[in-house]
């Protein structure tokens, strides 16, 4: 799948968000990474196996 050197992290790796972007649609709020993970603006994720990762954006504190 990934032809980058070094190879991008797989979709099941903890650092999956470090993979290269292959399609971006900021107007729709998502990007597709070369490991087939979809990352949403709210930091939620959809993995290639259908698993959903809940948003994990850090909240600012006063």
Q: Which of 4, 41, 34 is nearest to 19 (CA)?
A: 34
Q: Is a pLDDT exceeding 60 seen at residue 2?
A: yes
Higher pLDDT, 59 or 48: 48
Please say whether the beta carbons of 37 and 16 come within 8 A.
yes
38-51: average pLDDT? 95
Residue 61's pLDDT band, with cuts at 50, 70 and 90, is low
Cβ–Cβ < 8 Å for 35, 28: no
Domain ranges of the chain: 1-62
Helical spans, DSSP H, in the chain: none
DSSP state, 3? -
């Amino acid at each position: 799948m990934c032809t980058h050197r070094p190879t991008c992290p797989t979709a099941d790796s903890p650092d999956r968000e470090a993979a290269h972007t292959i399609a971006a649609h900021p107007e729709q709020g998502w990007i597709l990474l070369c490991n087939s993970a979809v990352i949403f603006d709210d930091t939620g994720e959809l993995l290639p196996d259908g698993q959903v990762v809940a948003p994990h954006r850090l909240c600012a504190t006063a």
